[in-house]
Structure 1
Amino acid sequence: MSVVTRPAGQGESYSTSPTARSAWRSSRVIVLLGALVVLAGVLGVVLGPQPGPSRPLDPDDTSFAGSKALAELLRDRGVTVDRVDSAEAAAAKSAAGDRLLLITDTTFIDDISLSEIPGDRLIVGDLSLGVLAPGVSTEPEQARLRSREPACRLPAAVAAGSAYMGGAVLRGTAGSTGCYPAGDGHALVSYAHSGGVTTVVGDGDFMTNRRLAEDGNAALALNLIGTGKAVTWVVRPENPPLLELPGDEERSMYDLMPGSIRWALYMAIIAIGITAFWRGRRLGPVVTERLPVIVRAAETVEGRGRLYRARRARERAADSLRAGTIDRLTPRLGLGSGAGRHEIVAALAARTGQDPHQVGAALYGPPPADDAGLVGLAGYLDTIERQVSEL
């Protein structure tokens, strides 16, 4: 804290520490600019374009859950990949020639119409297997997704090796081939039927952009799909028909807000608080003091006493009291500055009539054990000084 004092003869002083008003005047421009920057960031998060939802196993989706990378690998190998979102479009593609039907989602799609399309099929997940893959059943419990060995003779799996498999636990028909053991069944089942070869995998996570580069996932996906035939890739429609549910109520404005707005507001409040704290604690310019500075002795004594008390420095406080008493009493007793402790104690005892042992303990004894002892010592030394002064 800076202190300004007046010229000699005027002992008043006053503080020049910045007040709340002066701190606001000096930092309000910075605070307002910071608030505007934070507000612009919040509005950008709230009103800016929001990323669309990911489309799992979609050949056009570049998110972790999509399969854009696999589709590009197939096209690089010369395989035609056609993305469709309806049974009618899949049937129209298959009518042009022998193709592989890759089914990743049958939501809002007529699975019965899909089952009537001839040719090879690759079914990903537990998707109406009773219609699309008759004879293949699933266990009630799902298998944990992890790296598994094929443990079968299916060429596509043997060439790929270990892969990230799991999900639905499959049981195939008689004569089918099961690969990647999981639970009481397999994570992959393949069998031949009159229209071609049907392959079912319990989960398609190994085909996603996230997992494609791990283990033998890419090799397994390419071996199962890249058979040389064009691929009809069936996905969920982007704009499925809306279903009106009973009891659907209108949502409030808060329900329509994105979920990230709460954290954006929290970050804005924290940023404003940090900025205000940072700028509000900045002191002003250095104030030049006009000498001499007059400080009352009582203020110095009180300040030093508070420091001793805060640090519990009773020994140092007692030494200061004893040293000051000895310096003041030595000339009054007619002793020189080099007088020893025995001479000083004997002279004080003779002058005041006090017990020499008590006087010696007060001037040269051990430090007080507590604050009460320190106060008592100060009082006793003051009494000795008063007696010497009055005699």
Structure 2
Amino acid sequence: MAGEGGGRLAPVAGGGSAATSPTVRSAWRGNRMVVLIGLLIVAVATATVLLRPAPGDERLLDPDDTSLQGSKALAELLRDRGITVDRVDSVEKARALGGDRLLFASDTLYLDTDELASIPGDRLLVGAWDLESLAPEVDQVPEAPAQRSRDPECRLPAAAAGSAYMGGSAFRIPGGGTGCYPSRLGWTLVSYATPTGTTTVVGSGSFMTNLRLAEDGNAALAINLLDTGKPVTWLVRPEAPSSGDLAGEEGRSMYDLMPPGVGWSVLMACVAVLLVAIWRGRRLGPVVVERLPVVVRAAETVEGRGRLYRARKARARAADSLRAGALDRLTPRLGLGQGANSHEVVAAITARTGEDSRQVEAALYGPPPVNDEGLVALAGYVDHIERKVSEL
């Protein structure tokens, strides 16, 4: 007699029955859906690898690329306006151009950012990479805002274009700077003056691509950022080394560089995985019924997360989480808008509670604590501020 799992039922004392090991046929019937799904996943993955474009077919924000991810359309618009656009793929070429120019860096992979930072003049930096060298005054907030159409909510002349497709990363406004296109915790575009020029940092350059340029005010914003009356040095990521370069002058393939016995090792690993799958598949039993929902106290969740932060010594991340949560709760209680900057928040808290403004600013926007005692003190003071604002 067959059981629910496809195996056979053997008679036992008392007239009942117990499940025995399933046969090959019953095992196939019980697991054929898993096998078919696995084969489908393998087929889809293979098709994706075979049909995807070659690595060099699409180059993000490349002024010579006509694909959806390129920026050929934007470069031609600038040239039509009389702006000189020079595409370079190395720091040496960018430095050799010299003169009073706007440096537009869209990707610094494979580039020496310290050397790049030594080039004077205006800068337009797209993406949140290595800001410590290129824009040390800008701090990135612990948030990755979704890319969507956003209103500027600022008076920056370049943002007069109106709404644009912004997101990707968010930043705090540096001293004397301006922030546009706000997110929950920061701004997706910040601009500030430096001793050698103006630096503008943008969370994502998707609005500059051929795909998005015609939407909203994307084209106007991109042109306003790049059309400063100066020639543009458009720095792109250099081409990755080709397989021929990596193989060397003798033209050896990747398989020639592998040590002997790798093929047998891979085969043995596949056999071992198959045997483990069959072994574990035979041990599948009935579904265990558990009463749901399982209630977990909020205090246990908070304590567990705190222990994880402490184990990893992630004091900076824990402090950012405390500050972000406090600002989310304090801002509406103070009657401030979502895009309120640090000066407005500190001034409102000081006026509401009578606390020292420097101490409030250090607690909500200062550097992360250097030890656990400092983190505990920070948490206590932030809680103190929230209590006083709530009581008044």
Q: Name the structure, 1 or 2, with higher relative contact order (CA <8 Å, separation 6+).
A: 1
The TM-score normalised by the length of structure 1 is 0.48
> Quick check: which has more Rg, 1 or 2?
1
More strand by share: 1
The TM-score normalised by the length of structure 2 is 0.48
